[in-house]
Every structure is written in structure tokens, then in C-alpha cells.
Amino acid sequence: MNWLLVIIGGLFEILFASCLGKVRQTSGTEMYLWFAGFLVSLIASMGLLMKATQTLPIGTAYAVWTGIGAVGSVIVGIIIFKEPATFWRLFFITTLIGSIVGLKVVSH
């Protein structure tokens, strides 16, 4: 159950990073709405991580949480923000995914 909280928290991390990207691209009321989305996502993400680490090892849970956020943010950046999808960028994201899975497998 707590690993599910880490995963959902990681998804909220992707959302708050995406909202932050949209804040940079907008102005006026729209910018403030994206900033509000950033704050709500940030609070939800941190709250879920905090709840999950009450029973999970902090080092592993944090690494998985940030890994989900990092991988997801790169994917969102490529798809939505039109960032480059070079071979090396995709290669290292793939190794990061492998590392996240490995941490989850070896944690008790």
C-alpha cells in the first residue's frame, strides 16, 4: 500500500514540474492558475511521500519518488514542451528506470 503512495506521489511530482514549466510560458491570470496547480501538486506529492516513509525506508522511497518524477518530467518535456529526444537522453532515462526498478526489487 505504501509503495502505491510513493508512486502516486511521484505522479504528482510530474504534475508540479509540468505546472512549473507552464508558469514560465504564461502570464497574467493563467500564470497564477498554473502556479496554484503547482502548489497543490507539490503539497500532495510531499504529503504522500511523508505518509509512505512512515513505514518504508526513507532512502529507497525517496529515490523511487524522485526517479518517477524525473523520468515522467523528461517524458512530459519531450511530448508537451518539445524538448529534444536525443539518443543519450533516452539512454540515461532508461538506465534510471532500471535503477528505480532495481531499488524496489532489493528493498525489504
Place of cell 518535456: 77
pLDDT, tens digit only, all 108 positions of the chain = 899 999 999 999 999 999 999 999 999 999 999 999 999 999 999 999 999 999 999 998 999 999 999 999 999 999 999 999 999 999 999 999 999 888 888 876
Helices (H), 1-108: 2-25, 28-52, 58-79, 87-106
User: Residue 40 belongs to what domain range?
Assistant: 2-106
Contact criterion met (CB below 8 Å) for 104 and 64:
yes
DSSP state of 57: -
Cell (9 digits) for 73: 518530467
What's the sign of the alpha-carbon dihedral 9, 12, 16, 21? positive
End-to-end alpha-carbon separation of the chain, Å?
14
Cβ-proximal residues to 64 (8 Å cutoff; 6+ apart), any chain: 3, 6, 7, 10, 100, 103, 104
Please report the pLDDT score of residue 88 as a whole number.
95
The tally of domains found in the chain comes to 1
pTM of the model: 0.87
Cα separations in angstroms, 11 against 27, 76, 95: 25, 11, 19
Place of cell 535503477: 99
Please report the pLDDT score of residue 105 as a whole number.
85
Please report the pLDDT score of residue 106 as a whole number.
86
